């Protein structure tokens, strides 16, 4: 028969739809061979130093083409990993686009020269930006799938709306869509893999987990990663799954397995797990040499299972193509690959000026003065019945809770989840109980008001919380998640640092995950001890792409949380536990639209002789110190509450320091490497001529926070510590 090579996809093959047509088999072979030849060309280019990294798909082509052809690009959702070249080709990414990424061209559509080759991203095909971190993407697939279910039940949530992040996010969803996520067998050792199976199983989500098992994770063989050497056996008891363990070098078996998996998911029966045994004929990457750790016999037996050779034999055996026709097809592919590579090598390189682009949203500026509203406008005047919003000054906890209620009412895209945030997961209990609503009660009443689809408990797994939030947010939803204590944010650090904050920059703005992560933080609790008193905000202000907010009072917390929710960047929203219910900083309910722009410090106490820059729970302590300094020592201190730590209000700091010529930066976190180090360094660098004394810092001792109050008091900065710094600085 004649060769018909086309770029059109073969139609979706359902499991019982009879034998594959010759045309489909040729198309499968074409895609697999194309993928291998792109790898080979990249290897050549790497040796010629025209590209800078190479990781190949070789040996995985059959399982990937099977997955790609069984699913629908631009309809289903794809969370691949770095080997998934053949998958992406099957979905519609072009060879030229792949080479553009390999050379790091300005026109690389996946990342504009920011990511290594094979770090996929294509908005219109629904291929979500891939990182190098193994396994983080599985939780994004879970969040994406549950967002899809929510949207299909609540289609009005997809409506565009001006004035906030919704204006910039097109939402598309399909009632029977599925999310595919792929990992190697080694990556199944990551905790996030099990966290994703947990939620997909529990919530019966339409997620297909594809395990591309080539028997090695770089040099580590499968039995080291997987007890018993077979991941299928370990996961077999998860409820609601469709399971398939297949020869991942047999393209037809793969296509049928993914067809059946998709059918199970589309029918709403739950997730699927497709485990394909494939091979790795090339080393892990061009930086690896598998001859260092694999025997020759093992490598040879792998080679006998090469999926491309197997498919070629089948085409010949079944008389679908002759040897000459195969040759002609391969030559045509070689030409296509060579031309695509040449075009990519001639493509323009990125401008150095492009580097800062897309760190943050270019559509919504959360520092804009136009965000600011007058609190008095929305507030109910005092004198109303007790308990009514606005009838009396409210705590920070109350006004955060009020903001969450108001925003959830306004915006159906908001979902809230985390540990213990629901009123009661067993809804029936709510007829007789009051509900939990968070260990600090900050989310109290939200589930009762907005339902269990929008407010629900997560498993006790912090990476699960943030990873799923990324999956929700990247398709336009607005997750507001809670990490129960700052002290336990660390399992989520990987997701926060490498995913949440990076999604926009690494995809050059094609994807973003503007979620809000609320985090109770800090000490001064009298008995909070090591694991309920931690600070550490500078670890997060050190992450580009992440907004960091740290209010010190009820009104600021309300207005800044509203901006956090409405803005288009991921926000870490720190809530100091000690301030939740203090009498300091209570305020009237400011109404449902009160908002404060980011990056605007507040002068809490005007003064002329010393500038004291601070935030969080140190604000009331600094005020006490400043009052005493005035009263007892006649020193006039100006206190600036930064309110947001990234961005921060440099203008306010500079203006005050130019006036006073003396400055202290005070915070609760440890002194060394703390937030104050950066502020102090910048003041020294840019305001040196304005200073009459060295910049002083006040912070906690360089230890953890101890349980016994005598120790806690000595470890954390107190009003007396601050007063001493004020007096020393005045005397300098």
Ligand X SMILES: Cc1ncc(C[n+]2csc(CCOP(=O)(O)OP(=O)(O)O)c2C)c(N)n1
- Annotated catalytic residues are 532
Q: Is 645 helix (H, G, I), strand (E, B) or coil?
A: strand
Phi, psi of 77 (to 5 degrees): -125, 145
DSSP per position, 24-37: HHHHHHHHHHHHHH
Hunting for tokens 């997955």 — which residue is that?
67
In the numeric block, which tokens belong to residue 339?
Answer: 């031309």
132 or 202: CB nearest ligand X: 132
In the numeric block, which tokens belong to residue 433?
Answer: 């109980």
Q: Rounded to an integer, what distance in angstroms lies between the CA atom of residue 540 and that of residue 501?
A: 10
> Cα(first)–Cα(last) distance of the chain, in Å?
93
Instruction: Tell me the per-residue interface mask from 132 to 171 with Mg ion, x by CB under 5 A, - otherwise.
Output: ----------------------------------------
Q: Is 282 in the site for ligand X (CB under 6 A)?
A: no
Total of chain residues touching Mg ion, rule CB under 5 A: 5
Q: Is 284 in the site for ligand X (CB under 6 A)?
A: yes
In the numeric block, which tokens belong to residue 655?
Answer: 């203006």
Q: Are 726 and 666 in contact (CB under 8 A)?
A: no
Cα 578 from chain centre? 28
Which window, 182-190, 388-396, 452-460, 675-683, contacts ligand X (CB under 6 A)? 182-190
Q: How far is the CB of 85 from ligand X (least distance, A)?
A: 12
Q: Is 133 in the site for ligand X (CB under 6 A)?
A: yes
Dihedral sign for Cα 46, 50, 53, 59, please.
negative
* Neighbour-count burial for 188-209, b at 16+ CB within 10 Å, e otherwise: bbbebbbbbbbbbbebbbbbbb
Q: Are 304 and 88 in contact (CB under 8 A)?
A: no
Q: How far is the CB of 185 from ligand X (least distance, A)?
A: 5
Q: How far is the CB of 358 from ligand X (least distance, A)?
A: 23
- The item of ligand X, Mg ion, none sharing an interface with residue 94, based on CB under 5 to 8 Å by kind, is none
Which candidate, 61, 42, 43, places its Cα nearest to that of 101?
A: 42
Q: Is 660 helix (H, G, I), strand (E, B) or coil?
A: helix
In the numeric block, which tokens belong to residue 538?
Answer: 């500078």
Q: Is 224 in the site for ligand X (CB under 6 A)?
A: no
- The item of ligand X, Mg ion, none sharing an interface with residue 27, based on CB under 5 to 8 Å by kind, is none
Q: How far is the CB of 543 from ligand X (least distance, A)?
A: 17
Which one of residues 27, 185, 336, 398 is an interface residue with ligand X (CB under 6 A)? 185
Residue of closest CB approach to Mg ion: 184
Total of chain residues touching ligand X, rule CB under 6 A: 15
Q: Is 134 in the site for ligand X (CB under 6 A)?
A: yes
Q: Is 214 in the site for Mg ion (CB under 5 A)?
A: yes
Q: Rounded to an integer, what distance in angstroms lies between the CA atom of residue 677 and that of residue 687?
A: 15
Q: How far is the CB of 64 from ligand X (least distance, A)?
A: 11
- The item of ligand X, Mg ion, none sharing an interface with residue 113, based on CB under 5 to 8 Å by kind, is none
DSSP per position, 398-411: HHHHHHHHHHHHH-
Q: Is 64 in the site for ligand X (CB under 6 A)?
A: no
Q: Rounded to an integer, what distance in angstroms lies between the CA atom of residue 448 and that of residue 405?
A: 11
Q: How far is the CB of 132 from ligand X (least distance, A)?
A: 5
Which window, 179-187, 286-294, 341-349, 470-478, contacts ligand X (CB under 6 A)? 179-187
Element (H, E) at 553: none
66 or 186: CB nearest Mg ion: 186
Phi, psi of 318 (to 5 degrees): -90, 5
Which window, 4-12, 216-224, 499-507, 656-664, contacts ligand X (CB under 6 A)? 216-224
- The item of ligand X, Mg ion, none sharing an interface with residue 452, based on CB under 5 to 8 Å by kind, is none
Looking at the DSSP bridge assignments, the partners of residue 245 are 275
Q: Which residues ranging from 65 to 124 are in contact with ligand X (CB under 6 A)?
A: 83
Which one of residues 117, 184, 514, 545 is an interface residue with Mg ion (CB under 5 A)? 184
Q: How many residues does the chain have?
A: 732
Q: How far is the CB of 218 from ligand X (least distance, A)?
A: 5
Q: Is 216 in the site for ligand X (CB under 6 A)?
A: yes
197 or 555: CB nearest ligand X: 197
Which one of residues 24, 121, 130, 187 is an interface residue with ligand X (CB under 6 A)? 187
Which candidate, 264, 92, 242, 257, places its Cα nearest to that of 178?
A: 264
- The item of ligand X, Mg ion, none sharing an interface with residue 83, based on CB under 5 to 8 Å by kind, is ligand X
In the numeric block, which tokens belong to residue 84?
Answer: 């998934």
Q: How would you write 199-229 as a 3-class SS string?
A: HHHHCCCCEEEEEEECCEECCEEHHHHCHHH
Instruction: Tell me the per-residue interface mask from 195 to 214 with ligand X, x by CB under 6 A, - otherwise.
Output: -----------------x-x
- The item of Mg ion, ligand X, none sharing an interface with residue 433, based on CB under 5 to 8 Å by kind, is none
**For binding to ligand X (CB under 6 A), which residues are involved?**
83, 132-134, 183-187, 212, 214, 216-218, 284
**For binding to Mg ion (CB under 5 A), which residues are involved?**
184-186, 214, 217
């Amino acid at each position: 028969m004649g060769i018909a090579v086309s770029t059109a996809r073969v139609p979706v093959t359902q499991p019982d739809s009879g034998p594959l047509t010759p045309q489909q088999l040729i198309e499968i072979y074409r895609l697999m061979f194309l993928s291998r030849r792109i790898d080979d060309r990249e290897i050549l280019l790497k040796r010629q130093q025209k590209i800078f990294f190479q990781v190949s798909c070789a040996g995985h082509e059959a399982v990937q083409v099977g997955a790609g052809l069984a699913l629908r690009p631009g309809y289903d959702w794809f969370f691949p990993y770095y080997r998934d070249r053949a998958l992406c080709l099957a979905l519609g990414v072009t060879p030229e686009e792949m080479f553009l990424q390999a050379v790091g061209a300005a026109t690389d559509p996946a990342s504009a020269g920011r990511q290594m080759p094979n770090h996929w991203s294509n908005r219109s095909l629904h291929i979500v930006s891939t990182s190098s971190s193994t396994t983080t993407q599985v939780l994004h697939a879970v969040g994406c799938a549950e967002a899809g279910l929510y949207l299909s039940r609540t289609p009005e949530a997809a409506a565009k709306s001006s004035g906030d992040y919704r204006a910039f996010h097109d939402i598309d969803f399909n009632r029977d869509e599925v999310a595919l996520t792929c990992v190697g067998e080694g990556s199944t050792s990551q905790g996030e893999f099990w966290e994703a199976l947990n939620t997909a199983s529990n919530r019966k989500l339409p997620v297909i987990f594809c395990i591309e098992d080539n028997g090695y994770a770089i040099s580590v063989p499968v039995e080291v990663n997987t007890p018993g050497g077979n991941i299928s056996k370990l996961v077999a008891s998860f409820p609601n799954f469709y399971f398939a363990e297949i020869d991942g070098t047999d393209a037809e078996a793969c296509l049928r397995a993914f067809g059946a998996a998709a059918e199970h998911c589309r029918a709403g029966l739950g997730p699927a797990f497709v485990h394909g045994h494939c091979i790795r004929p090339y080393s892990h990457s061009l930086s690896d040499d598998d001859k260092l750790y694999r025997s020759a016999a093992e490598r040879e037996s792998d080679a006998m299972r090469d999926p491309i050779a197997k498919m070629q034999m089948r085409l010949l055996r079944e008389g679908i193509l002759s040897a000459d026709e195969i040759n002609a097809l391969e030559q045509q592919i070689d030409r296509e690959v060579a031309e695509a590579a040449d075009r990519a090598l001639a493509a323009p390189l990125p401008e150095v000026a492009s580097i800062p682009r897309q760190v943050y949203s270019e559509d919504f500026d959360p520092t804009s003065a136009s965000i600011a509203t007058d609190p008095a406008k929305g507030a109910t005047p005092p004198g109303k019945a007790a308990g009514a919003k606005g009838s009396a000054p409210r705590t920070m906890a109350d006004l955060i809770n009020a903001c969450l209620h108001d925003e959830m009412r306004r915006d159906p895209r908001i979902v809230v989840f985390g540990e213990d945030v629901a009123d009661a997961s067993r809804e029936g209990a709510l007829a007789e109980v009051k509900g939990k609503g968070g260990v600090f009660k900050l989310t109290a009443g939200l589930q009762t008001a907005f339902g269990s689809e929008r407010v629900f408990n997560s498993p006790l797994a912090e990476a699960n919380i943030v990873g799923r939030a990324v999956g929700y947010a990247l398709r336009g939803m607005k997750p507001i998640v809670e990490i129960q204590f700052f002290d336990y944010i660390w399992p989520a650090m990987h997701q926060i640092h490498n995913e949440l904050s990076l999604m926009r920059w690494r995809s050059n703005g094609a994807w973003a995950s503007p979620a809000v992560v609320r985090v109770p933080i800090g000490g001064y609790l009298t008995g909070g001890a090591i694991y309920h008193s931690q600070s550490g905000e500078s670890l997060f202000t050190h992450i580009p792409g992440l907004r960091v907010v740290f209010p010190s009072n009820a009104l600021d917390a309300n207005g800044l949380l509203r901006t956090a929710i409405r803005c288009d960047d991921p926000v870490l929203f720190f809530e100091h536990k000690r301030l939740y219910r203090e009498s300091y900083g209570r305020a009237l309910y400011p109404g449902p639209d009160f908002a404060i722009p980011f990056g605007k410090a507040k002068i809490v106490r005007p003064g002329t002789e010393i500038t004291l820059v601070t935030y969080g729970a140190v604000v009331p302590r600094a005020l006490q110190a400043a009052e005493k300094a005035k009263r007892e020592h006649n020193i006039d201190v100006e206190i600036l509450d930064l309110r947001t730590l990234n961005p921060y209000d440099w203008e306010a700091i500079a203006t005050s320091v130019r006036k006073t010529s003396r400055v202290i930066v005070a915070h609760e976190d440890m002194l060394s490497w703390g937030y104050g180090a950066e502020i102090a360094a910048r003041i020294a660098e840019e305001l040196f001529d304005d200073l009459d004394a060295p910049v002083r810092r006040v912070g906690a001792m360089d230890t953890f926070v101890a349980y016994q109050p005598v120790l806690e008091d000595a470890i954390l900065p107190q009003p007396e510590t601050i007063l001493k710094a004020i007096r020393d600085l005045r005397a300098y």
